[in-house]
Structure formats: C-alpha cells, structure tokens
C-alpha cells in the first residue's frame, strides 16, 4: 500500500495521519510513504512517522519511504537534532545527513 502525503504535515492533521498509518500497518505488509510533496512539517509529523515505524517493526510489517525525505522534512530532523543510527537511514535512504 502506498500513502501519498503532501502540503503541510503538522499537528492539525496528525490525528488523521496516525489513524491512516495504523490502519495500513498489519503483519506481513509493507506500507510505502510518498512524502515528496510535503512543503512544511513539524516535529509532530516526525514523531507520528517514527511511532508508526516502530509499530510496524513490532507487528512484523514494514514502513518505508518511497524516496529520501524532502528538504522540508530534513530541516525538521536537523532542527530536532535527530541523527541516531536507527532513524537517519529510514529518512535519507542511507545518505550521510538529514
């Protein structure tokens, strides 16, 4: 399943996004997020995605990005100081820095 997100991704639409992600993540499935059209995001968006990623791991599913995160999301990652070895490859597809 592919979920396409665009525009502003923040606390205003976070609840809907969280529900949609949780509904799509079931054992043995892969959910692909196409976030290339996101023009702005906040830390709430990143937290929802990180939580969904951990949930997917816990239930034996996969959550991945269709492509490396766009600049709007990488900026949030950088401002938040997110740079641990388990998160960055997910967001950047293995690039050195967010």
pLDDT digits (tens, 9 = 90+) for 4-20: 999 999 989 999 999 99
**Predicted confidence band of residue 89 (pLDDT cuts 50, 70, 90):** confident
Q: Which domains does the chain have, with CATH numbers?
A: 2-92 (3.30.750.24)
Q: What is the Cα–Cα distance from 41 to 29, expressed in whole angstroms?
A: 26
pLDDT at 78: 87
pTM of the model: 0.87
The single-letter DSSP state of residue 98 is -
**Predicted confidence band of residue 73 (pLDDT cuts 50, 70, 90):** very high
Q: Please report, for residues 4, 17, 40, 54, the alpha-carbon distance to residue 46 in angstroms, rounded to integers and kept in the order given.
A: 15, 11, 11, 12
DSSP alpha helix (H) spans, the chain? 11-24, 43-59, 71-80, 88-92
**Predicted confidence band of residue 80 (pLDDT cuts 50, 70, 90):** confident
Q: What is the Cα–Cα distance from 33 to 69, expressed in whole angstroms?
A: 10
Q: What is the Cα–Cα distance from 87 to 7, expressed in whole angstroms?
A: 23
């Amino acid at each position: 399943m592919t979920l396409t997100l665009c525009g502003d991704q923040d606390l205003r639409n976070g609840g809907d996004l969280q529900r949609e992600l949780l509904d799509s993540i079931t054992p043995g499935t892969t959910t692909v997020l196409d976030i290339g059209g996101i023009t702005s995001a906040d830390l709430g968006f990143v937290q929802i995605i990180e939580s969904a990623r951990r949930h997917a791991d816990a239930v034996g599913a996969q959550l991945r990005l269709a492509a490396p995160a766009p600049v709007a999301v990488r900026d949030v990652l950088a401002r938040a100081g997110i740079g641990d070895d388990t998160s960055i490859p997910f967001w950047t597809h293995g690039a050195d820095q967010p």
